[in-house]
Structure 1
Amino acid sequence: MKIILINPPHPYLIKPYSQAPLGLLYLASVLRDTCCEVELHNLSGFTEDQSLNILPLDADVYGFSATSVDYPLCERMASAIRRKNDRAKLLIGGPHATVAPETIDLSVFHSACIGEGEKAVLEMVEDIRENRLEPFYRKPRIRSLDELPLPARDLIDSIGGEVFAFDRNYSDSNLSATIMTSRGCPFNCSYCASKPMWRGLVSYRSVESVLEEIRIIRDEFSVDQFRFCDDTLNMDTERLHHLCRGLDRMKVFWRCSVRAGLSTPDDFKMMFDSGCREISPGIESGDQRVLNFLHKHNSVESNRDLINWATRAGINVRVLLMTGTPGECSDTPEKTRDFLGSIDFNMVSLTQFRPIPGSPIWKTPEKFHCRILDRDMEHYSFYTWRKGDNGEREKAPIQSVIETDLLPKEALEDNMRRMFDYAEETGKLNRG
């Protein structure tokens, strides 16, 4: 059986190959172990038309992975493939199928995987062989991620691009890779779909397994810079310390996402000594009212402490902010501007708020005193920069898809424009 796994085009990304499609690489490893012929097509940097011309038409199965923003394009591509190869089975999985399975068009896709795919895809393939494919598959969470084979990185040309702010490199190789040590998040931020995606559970790999994968990547691909793609790497302090001790011996450089209120100044010093050169905390706003609306369960002050502690330890900080959210008032941009003025950071990444399918705000917007005006996923790219028709980066249109009891759509868009200007004035705005 020939199976083609598809990482779809991402026309909204300026750097489409900065991260490898880890989820599909895990599926490829699992499928290869069952003697299937597997190809992985990483089409992130191609257009929709180019992608359809690239894909072989002789496969038995085509499997797409899609976020909610990607889903309309994946549906069009799947329809085109079905017209050219009517005997093939079209499958879809990933975040969108997991959090919004009711939106999957089963006249286009034969079946959808809800949740983790490594066990489900084996059952799907077996059912295809036996001509009994079901519309939806969902398996129990994988508790021990050490059960999984390592991602099949040999199937793609580039295992990763620049991972550090402003394309910094800390080694002569200039190469990097993405790696996962855990899945899931226990927190319930109102704008995020991670909790329904992972059913509120966090599963881990052993530190020894993570270190062994890093050793293999370093030896086979000459890579010594890594991005940990966990939602929150500092969630378990004891585990983080164990990981840092191992990384210190390996002499690699890395970045990760962290959350305020979980780590101490000594933790950041240990992280720096083990090669951490950048963290990305989800700060979102300098307005405490907004943090409360977003169910962040932390404070402006704890966010400030995290950034200052990391900076003093020598770690660069990429501040992640979101603008146009529920809970904003007309003075929110100024409060966030003042917050930026009170911290020492290296980069600020600003995104436009979008109510992600599966998130609490998407499911019950009235509880957050807002109304969703536009649910067209093709309008849901949240980036403030994009690639123009000539290939050059340009500012993306400022557009709110909500209104709130506090501010109408136009006032939210004014907030977004002002916040964009303030971020630009720092001279540290991420344009990637």
Structure 2
Amino acid sequence: MTTPNVTFVNLPTISVDGILGGSNVYPAVSMPLGIMYLSSAIKESAGVKFVDLIDYNIETLNRGKHGSIENFIFNVANDSVERSPDILAVSFMFSFSVEFFGRMMPILREMWPDTTVVVGGMHATNDVYGLLARPDVDWVARGEAELGFAQFIRQMAEGVPADVRGFFDKTAITDHRTGVLDRCLMVEDLDRLPFPDWDLLDMDAYVNSPYSRKRNFGAAREARMASIMTSRGCPFHCTFCSSHTVHGREMRYRSQENVLEEIRILNKRWGVNLFVPEDDMFTIKKERIVGLLDAIDGLNIENMEMQFPNALSVNTLDKDVIEALRRAGMSVLTLAIESGSDYVQKHIIKKRCSLDRARDLVAYAVNHDIYVRCYFILGFPGETIENMKETVAFARDLGADWCEFMVAMPLIGSEMFQEFSDMGVLSNDDRSWTGTYRDRSFDTPEISADDLEKLAYRANLDVNFINNVKMRSGHYKKALVEFEDVLVRHTFHIIALYCKALCHKHMGDSDAAVEAMDRIHHLIETDDRSRKMFDEYGDLISWDLARATDDQPSPVPSIRPEESGVALASSPT
């Protein structure tokens, strides 16, 4: 009996255009915990000795050097794999990866024509028939697959036909189309799982990545980051989420000691001091979470921090939990509020987030020197433009340090996906609904895709830049930190430069202000991205800095320079 070798594939989190350097969106570099848990499970339970990883997501940090997407796909795969894989296991998490997946699979199949291709993940769980219709996909796994994949490999090694709950081959297209497809058996006791296979990754690239899920606002810039997961499941019924199709709605928890041991190992082996829980719902059980956080605090890790890009709910947070989070090193609080409209909360997205509670939590956190980021989504099915403007106004007045505005993307398997489908705006033939949280390729009766994208981006510029809460309150040095962080990631960002100039002007450094304005003029002339931003949002810039700052706590949008006769060659003085 020969145990097959396995190669995992981690898909990128940005578009094909972005991989080639033609997009302003940068990759979200987050440890692929699903792949890492699977790798550990099959090594332990199926005796797999050789496991490789084609990590397209981390390789997008070197994007643009390959010349074409085909070269990128081939080169990264060829450089990553030491032996021809018996099983190619693709983690297909999100619908925005559809285009890349479609261009990747024929290339990998040509490289390794005899490999068995298994696709799993959140998107795969909800697109079984669509994936199996492809000639280059052999199997699809539904749900959590640590138990099922190990069983699948054992059967393959024994040479017997695979018969595993939650695993489907092409017979599913004809035999089960009208039935309910089972999911893989879930691990009820999460402590039974081995720790994630960290050795599968380039750990240094992940813990040090400038594009990781850590945020530097209020946090140590030299922090070394790692993702962890302390629970699985979420009992809520938000219409835009499909996570329940993989992890279920019933909560399962790791023990306190199991979590602590993982943290100790990460700190000892890689010097990790910033931990990012990737739970669907971290704060669902107050007594457990306060006890866990206090135990983490008791580890006394030097410069310990925790950040939560997700996993925190307004409806499960209170001051006691925030204080426990703060004791454990949380310096950045992220709240997914999603909508500033009570109507949308109750009747459209079913999140039922209390907006009054959100205001109180934000105020409490800010008053206790915690940096607060809030997430909002625009463009839900049936959401009017007025509803969206309510959200922008709510965010502007909320007092949070930073707000993210995204467009509603229909994740397959979510209730929202079905709602959009019932509206007749999605096409399964060309998968025109697959976009990112920054863009959308289909119109709705309420708003066109183009207008929605511009509304969301203008909301970002309005709330986070022009009406930045720190500039409004006179904390210009802190505002500068934010704008400089943006410019590290987006060097073309002329609005960030403009706000940087305003901060310098308010702080009495006229030379630095003029230098920033000069940089804006240069970028408009030399960088197409800056020029595009100027063409679409230049109305937010006042080219007379004296008028924009004198006796005003925040800048006032003015007119475009071409409308006022201001030349682009040099900054006004």
TM bracket (short chain): 0.7 to 0.9
Taking the TM superposition and a 5 Å limit, the aligned residue runs for 1:188-227 are 188-227=237-276
Aligned to 1:394: none
Q: Does 1:10 align with 2:38?
A: no
SS in 2 for 1:163: coil
Could you tell which deviates more after superposition, 318-327 or 98-107? 98-107
CA deviation string 1:111-139 (max 9, x = no partner)? 11111111111111122221413562842
Q: Does 1:89 align with 2:116?
A: yes
Any conservation in 2 of the 1:7–1:42 contact (CA below 8 Å)? yes
Aligned to 1:395: none
Aligned to 1:401: 442
Q: Which amino acid aligns with 1:30?
A: A
Taking the TM superposition and a 5 Å limit, the aligned residue runs for 1:143-292 are 143-157=188-202, 158-160=205-207, 161=209, 162-166=212-216, 169-170=219-220, 173-250=222-299, 251=301, 252-256=304-308, 257=310, 258-292=312-346
CA distance in 1, matches of 2:368, 2:326: 7
- Listed as ranges, the gaps of 5+ residues in structure 2 are 19-24, 61-68, 169-181, 469-481, 490-573
State the Cα distance separating 1:213 from its structure 2 match: 0.4
Q: Does 1:141 align with 2:186?
A: yes
Taking the TM superposition and a 5 Å limit, the aligned residue runs for 1:33-432 are 33=44, 34-44=47-57, 45-46=59-60, 47-55=69-77, 56=81, 58-67=84-93, 68-105=95-132, 107-129=135-157, 130-133=159-162, 136=168, 138-157=183-202, 158-160=205-207, 161=209, 162-166=212-216, 169-170=219-220, 173-250=222-299, 251=301, 252-256=304-308, 257=310, 258-292=312-346, 293-365=348-420, 370-375=423-428, 376-377=430-431, 380-384=434-438, 398-399=439-440, 401-404=442-445, 407=446, 409-410=447-448, 413-425=450-462, 426-427=464-465
State the Cα distance separating 1:72 from its structure 2 match: 4.1
Aligned to 2:505: none
Any conservation in 2 of the 1:185–1:201 contact (CA below 8 Å)? yes
Any conservation in 2 of the 1:4–1:62 contact (CA below 8 Å)? yes
Q: Which amino acid aligns with 1:37?
A: F
SS in 2 for 1:295: coil
The structure whose residues are more often helix, as a share, is 2
State the Cα distance separating 1:17 from its structure 2 match: 5.8
SS in 1 for 2:364: helix
CA distance in 1, matches of 2:186, 2:322: 31
CA distance in 1, matches of 2:32, 2:320: 33
SS in 1 for 2:52: strand
Any conservation in 1 of the 2:275–2:305 contact (CA below 8 Å)? yes
Q: Does 1:20 align with 2:31?
A: yes
TM-score normalized with structure 1 length: 0.87
CA deviation string 1:111-170 (max 9, x = no partner)? 111111111111111222214135628422211111111111122113343433356642
Label 1:301 to 1:327 Cα distance change in 2 as closer, same or farther (>3 A): farther
Label 1:313 to 1:169 Cα distance change in 2 as closer, same or farther (>3 A): closer
Any conservation in 1 of the 2:147–2:186 contact (CA below 8 Å)? no
Label 1:421 to 1:84 Cα distance change in 2 as closer, same or farther (>3 A): closer
CA distance in 2, matches of 1:87, 1:330: 52
SS in 1 for 2:372: strand
SS in 2 for 1:159: helix
Q: Which amino acid aligns with 1:179?
A: I
Q: Does 1:29 align with 2:66?
A: no
CA distance in 2, matches of 1:302, 1:181: 26
State the Cα distance separating 1:285 from its structure 2 match: 1.4
SS in 1 for 2:461: helix
CA distance in 1, matches of 2:420, 2:435: 19
CA distance in 2, matches of 1:204, 1:95: 20
State the Cα distance separating 1:320 from its structure 2 match: 0.6
State the Cα distance separating 1:355 from its structure 2 match: 1.4
Q: Which amino acid aligns with 1:248?
A: D
CA distance in 2, matches of 1:210, 1:325: 37
CA distance in 2, matches of 1:324, 1:96: 21
Which structure is higher in RCO with an 8 Å CA cutoff and minimum separation 6?
Answer: 1
Q: Which amino acid aligns with 2:316?
A: L
CA deviation string 1:251-296 (max 9, x = no partner)? 4201123111212222212211221112221111111122121001
State the Cα distance separating 1:315 from its structure 2 match: 2.1
Q: Which amino acid aligns with 1:39?
A: D
CA deviation string 1:328-380 (max 9, x = no partner)? 2232233123212322212211211111110112224488xx44344554652
- Listed as ranges, the gaps of 5+ residues in structure 1 are 385-397
Label 1:217 to 1:378 Cα distance change in 2 as closer, same or farther (>3 A): farther
Label 1:187 to 1:334 Cα distance change in 2 as closer, same or farther (>3 A): same
SS in 2 for 1:165: coil
State the Cα RMSD in Å.
2.5
SS in 2 for 1:177: strand
CA distance in 1, matches of 2:457, 2:113: 48
CA distance in 1, matches of 2:366, 2:113: 57
Could you tell which deviates more after superposition, 103-112 or 239-248? 103-112
Any conservation in 1 of the 2:425–2:443 contact (CA below 8 Å)? yes
Any conservation in 1 of the 2:122–2:246 contact (CA below 8 Å)? yes
Label 1:156 to 1:415 Cα distance change in 2 as closer, same or farther (>3 A): closer
Q: Which amino acid aligns with 2:220?
A: Y
Larger-gyration structure (1/2): 2
Q: Which amino acid aligns with 2:298?
A: R
Q: Report the number of matched residues.
A: 412
Q: Which amino acid aligns with 1:286?
A: G
CA deviation string 1:218-254 (max 9, x = no partner)? 0000010011111221111111101111121134201
SS in 2 for 1:342: helix
CA distance in 2, matches of 1:349, 1:365: 23
CA distance in 2, matches of 1:41, 1:291: 40
Could you tell which deviates more after superposition, 357-366 or 207-216? 357-366
CA distance in 2, matches of 1:51, 1:366: 32
